[in-house]
Amino acid sequence: MATSIDISDLDIYYGDFLAVEGVSMSVPARSVTALIGPSGCGKSTFLRSLNRLHEVIPGARVEGKVMVDGQSLYDAAVDPVEVRRLIGMVFQRPNPFPTMSIYENVLAGLRLNNSRLKKADADDVVERSLTHANLWGEVQDRLGKPGMSLSGGQQQRLCIARAIAVEPQVLLMDEPCSALDPISTSAIEDLIHQLKSEYTIVIVTHNMQQAARVSEDTAFFNIAGAGKPGKLIEMNTTKKIFSVPDEPATEAYISGRFG
């Protein structure tokens, strides 16, 4: 079910502006890979290029190769919609669909893709996804309430349930805890621990303790200055990055000294 991702020489553009340059790395299957680095260094942009969401922005494009299970994501014959069914995403700010109930939000991925579900199967998917997202106990008796009626942390877990309901192989998380309090954050970190036995997870985070807590591997991105492209400086096991990184720049960032 899980899948590894191999990226080689990836350049990411917004129009003529080169935002991320020359990234080569491989993301192992069934493990958590954290992306860290200062703001504006292209972590999120890079993450969004992994499920072809980057190109939704007008003028945005990508050069280079992203291989998922031996298939090139950016091959002309590849349908970006299919890619996104395979590679799910959780965003920085919780974004449940405001017109839908909790129940409908979880099923959104399936229903919007027009797959007909029997009521029993649908109930099953909802319970399984919400249980997976550690939310079932809190919402099981109010599934018909609007998704927006939940607290921020619950909304984010609802969004995770929505993302895993379509059973993707890879889950991308773009700072999923940055808008949450420590308790919700800890709930989501527990969840990441559980999910990694089934999914390949790539998580962008500004919180280095979080990266150290949840990830097996860590990639450090940096930017030489404003207007310059972001680059991958180092990718290593999390243990090594946080103890004896190969690059001095990584060490400077980890220990709080910049530049």
Partner 1 sequence: MTALVDKPPATMEHLPLRHARLPRWAPILVVVVSFAASGLVGLLLGWGPVAIVVLALLLYLGALPLWSRAVENRRSANDRFVTGLVWVALGIAFVPLVSLLWTVIGEGLPVLDAKFFTWSMRNIVGEKGGIYHAIIGTLLITGAAAVISVPIGLLSAIYLVEYGGKSRLASSIRFLVDVMTGIPSIVAGLFAYALFVLFYGPGVHIGLGGAVALSLLMIPIVVRSAEEMLKLVPADLREAAYALGVPKWRTIIKVVLPTAMAGIITGITLAIARVIGETAPLLIIAGSTDSTNFNLFKDQMMTLPVFIYYSYTQPGNTPEIARPMAWGAALVLILIVLVLNLLARVLGRLFAPKQGH
Nearer to partner 1, 140 or 255 (CB): 140
**CB-based burial of residue 77 (10 Å sphere; 0-12 exposed, 13-18 middle, 19+ buried)?**
exposed
DSSP 94-159: ----TTSBHHHHHHHHHHHTT----HHHHHHHHHHHHHHTT-HHHHTT-TTSBGGGS-HHHHHHHH
Binding mask 91-120 for partner 1 (x = CB under 8 A): x-x-x-xxx-x------xx-xxxx------
From 66-74, 81-89, 189-197, 219-227, span contacting partner 1 (CB under 8 A): 81-89
Task: In angstroms, give the least distance from the CB of 22 to partner 1.
Answer: 26
Nearer to partner 1, 64 or 109 (CB): 109
Q: Which long-range contacts (CB under 8 A, 24 or more apart) does 93-99 make?
A: 93/179, 94/152, 94/155, 94/156, 94/158, 94/159, 94/179, 95/159, 96/147, 96/148, 96/150, 96/155, 96/158, 96/159, 96/162, 97/147, 98/146, 98/147, 98/148
Residue 187 φ then ψ, to 5°: -60, -40
| Binder among 67, 148, 249, 252 for partner 1 (CB under 8 A) | 148
Question: In this structure, which amino acid lies at residue 155?
Answer: Q
| Binder among 30, 65, 85, 240 for partner 1 (CB under 8 A) | 85
Calpha distance 181→177 (Å, rounded) = 8
From 90-98, 122-130, 176-184, 186-194, span contacting partner 1 (CB under 8 A): 90-98
Nearer to partner 1, 2 or 252 (CB): 2
Nearer to partner 1, 71 or 149 (CB): 149
DSSP E strands in 57-102: the ranges are 60-68, 71-72, 87-90
| Binder among 25, 29, 78, 86 for partner 1 (CB under 8 A) | 86
Binding mask 155-184 for partner 1 (x = CB under 8 A): ----x--xx--x------------------
HSE-up of residue 246 (Cα within 13 Å, Cβ side) = 10
Distance of CA 197 to the CA centre of its chain: 16
81 binds partner 1 (CB under 8 A): yes
Task: Kindly identify the residues of this chain, within the stretch 193-212, that bind partner 1 according to CB under 8 A.
Answer: none
From 118-126, 144-152, 193-201, 203-211, span contacting partner 1 (CB under 8 A): 144-152
Nearer to partner 1, 52 or 231 (CB): 52
Task: In angstroms, give the least distance from the CB of 97 to partner 1.
Answer: 6
53 binds partner 1 (CB under 8 A): yes
Interface contacts to partner 1, rule CB under 8 A = 51, 53, 56, 58, 81-86, 88-89, 91, 93, 95, 97-99, 101, 108-109, 111-114, 145-146, 148-149, 159, 162-163, 166
